[in-house]
């Protein structure tokens, strides 16, 4: 029940712990506003969501507001203007939109709660702030990405047409990233242990799958699931951890088409559920849910492959990793 704050050396990725803040209710997930001055924290055990101001000089957090929730949040993110917070709910099959006041604090009731389906995992708006996507896994969910239109003035979500995009197999889309230059959308697939590239129609706000590549070696026959997804700021490399195989898979992204080529895997701590990429794209940090440790990796500028650096004890059940720079 705490959030640890580290300072990263930009030369070698080395971390030094500076502070910890007690936050009850199992703090995770985490998100920043577009200006990186505020943090939003889902508190799954207590069904709450809180806002914090970030001190730009020290990185210290000050809680500014808390709102009750109908379920345990799996993912939180602001809209592109920083006026609303989206949240998704795996077990109750819903998403919510909460307004923020002029200071960026939570406090008011949700604009609305919207039923989707069990297995709702992540939720984010596209760069235009007109469309919102919610992947749902396959095992307990409909194996689809729900597509919405977003009113950035009212905060209302309405189903797009079509209302969902389906992968070609029983892949279970979980987390996603949208490349705003190539207009390619990428998902990590929980059940499929794979990554899918989707075309994104920026006029209609709809998706279509074009390529799926496994995150696992061909000879692996054990149980594994994918977790999160990260892409370097250059748009050249993509990373996705495997929970079970306990590795982080690397991919090169074609600069023209956006299609993927697997480039290898590197060993990770047991059950690498959460991981993050520093804003420069030079270092990856992956935490082991079962080990309570965090490993840092250097990203090769030419190939995108990962080299392990240091491992840190961070405490039981690390649930989120959020590297950032302060304004």
**Dist. CA 178–CA 163, nearest whole Å:** 18
Same domain, 181 and 89: no
* Residue closest to 278 by CA, chosen among 3, 1, 11: 11
Transcribe 98-138 into DSSP letters.
EE--TTS---SPPSEEEE--TTB---EE-TTSSEEEEEE-S
State pTM to two decimals.
0.96
Q: Which residues of 248-272 are buried (b: 16+ CB within 10 A; e: fewer)?
A: bbbbbbeeeebebebbebbebbebb
> How many domains does the structure of the chain reveal?
2
Average pLDDT over residues 113-123: 97
Average pLDDT over residues 158-181: 94
For the sheet with 75-78, list strands across it: 75-78, 84-89, 94-99, 112-115
pLDDT of 91 strictly over 90: yes
CATH number at residue 294: 2.130.10.10
Same domain, 201 and 141: no
229-266 tens-digit pLDDT: 999 999 999 999 999 999 999 999 999 999 999 999 99
Q: Which of 166, 195, 223 is the last residue of a domain?
A: 166
Same domain, 184 and 287: yes
Same domain, 305 and 257: yes
**Dist. CA 129–CA 76, nearest whole Å:** 16
For 84, the domain range is 1-166
Q: What is the pLDDT of residue 27?
A: 96
**Dist. CA 112–CA 171, nearest whole Å:** 29
256-290 tens-digit pLDDT: 999 999 999 999 999 999 999 999 999 999 999 99
Same domain, 183 and 308: yes
């Amino acid at each position: 029940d705490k959030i640890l704050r580290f300072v990263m050396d930009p030369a070698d990725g080395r971390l030094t712990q500076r502070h910890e803040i007690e936050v009850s209710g199992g703090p995770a997930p985490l998100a920043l506003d577009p200006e990186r001055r505020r943090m939003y924290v889902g508190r799954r055990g207590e069904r709450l969501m809180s806002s914090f101001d970030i001190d730009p000089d020290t990185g210290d957090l000050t809680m500014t507001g808390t709102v009750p929730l109908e379920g345990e949040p799996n993912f939180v993110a602001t809209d592109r203007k920083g006026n609303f917070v989206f949240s998704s709910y795996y077990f109750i099959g819903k998403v919510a939109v909460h307004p923020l006041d002029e200071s960026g604090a939570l406090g008011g009731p949700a604009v609305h709660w919207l039923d989707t389906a069990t297995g709702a995992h992540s939720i984010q708006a596209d760069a235009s702030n007109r469309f919102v996507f919610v992947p749902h896994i396959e095992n307990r969910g409909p194996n689809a990405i729900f597509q919405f239109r977003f009113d950035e003035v009212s905060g209302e979500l309405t189903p797009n047409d079509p209302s969902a995009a389906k992968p070609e197999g029983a892949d279970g889309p979980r987390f996603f990233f949208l490349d705003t230059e190539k207009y390619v959308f990428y998902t990590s697939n929980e059940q499929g242990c794979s990554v899918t590239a989707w075309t994104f129609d920026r006029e209609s706000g709809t998706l279509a799958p074009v390529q799926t590549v496994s995150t696992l070696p061909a000879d692996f026959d054990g149980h594994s699931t994918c977790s999160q997804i990260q892409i370097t700021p250059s748009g050249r490399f993509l990373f996705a951890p495997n929970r079970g195989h306990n590795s982080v898979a690397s991919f090169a992204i074609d600069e023209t088409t956006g299609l993927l080529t697997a480039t290898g895997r590197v060993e990770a701590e047991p059950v690498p559920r959460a991981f993050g990429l520093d804003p420069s794209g030079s270092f990856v940090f992956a935490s082991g849910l079962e080990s309570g440790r965090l490993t840092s990796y250097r990203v090769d500028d030419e190939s995108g492959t990962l080299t392990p650096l240091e491992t840190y004890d961070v405490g039981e059940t690390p649930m989120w990793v959020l590297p950032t720079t302060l304004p």
